[in-house]
């Protein structure tokens, strides 16, 4: 690969809007393991927030994607590959960036929000219990006699 071609590829990768309109790759090989990246990202994004049990899995995926991105950029920087191979690497790097953006955009529920959600659920259960105990539940026998 020629020096100017290498620079063009590196510039394309670093462009701020490089991921606009880019699809997340269906599958990507990271450290010799094939990962169905697109389905993983969409599975996680379907939820409003990252559940406690999934946080470590998502964080590990983000670390692996960042590591793979660095390795691929270094291969382009070395310039020992063909321009065509460099183009493929650049496209895959931009796809990794798109997946990282999607995963970074997710939020974990804050402890305060989780506590508030729990308190609201507790209040709702308590009110339901009181209505049943006082016979004001529309479906109970006591409530239907009135």
Q: How far apart are CA 130 and CA 140, in angstroms?
A: 13
pLDDT in tens, 30-67: 878 888 989 888 888 787 667 677 788 888 888 999 99
CA dist., res. 101 & res. 117, Å (int): 27
Arithmetic mean of pLDDT, 110-138: 77
- Name residue, tokens 């692996």: 64
pLDDT at residue number 145: 47
Q: What is the pLDDT of residues 85-119, one digit of tens each?
A: 999 999 999 999 999 888 886 655 556 666 777 78
Question: Which pTM was predicted?
Answer: 0.66
- Cβ burial of 8 (10 Å; 0-12, 13-18, 19+) is middle
């Amino acid at each position: 690969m020629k020096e100017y071609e290498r620079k063009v590829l590196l510039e394309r990768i670093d462009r701020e809007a490089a991921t606009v309109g880019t699809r997340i790759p269906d599958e990507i090989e990271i450290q010799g393991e094939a990962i169905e990246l697109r389905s993983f990202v969409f599975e996680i994004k379907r939820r409003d927030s990252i559940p406690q049990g999934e946080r470590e899995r998502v964080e590990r995926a983000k670390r692996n994607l960042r590591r793979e991105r660095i390795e691929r950029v270094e291969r382009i920087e070395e310039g020992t590959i063909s321009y065509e191979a460099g183009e493929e690497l650049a496209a895959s790097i931009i796809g990794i960036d798109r997946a990282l953006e999607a995963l970074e955009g997710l939020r974990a529920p804050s402890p305060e929000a989780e506590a508030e959600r729990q308190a609201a659920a507790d209040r709702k259960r308590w009110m339901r219990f009181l209505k049943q105990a006082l016979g004001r539940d529309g479906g109970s026998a006591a409530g239907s006699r009135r």
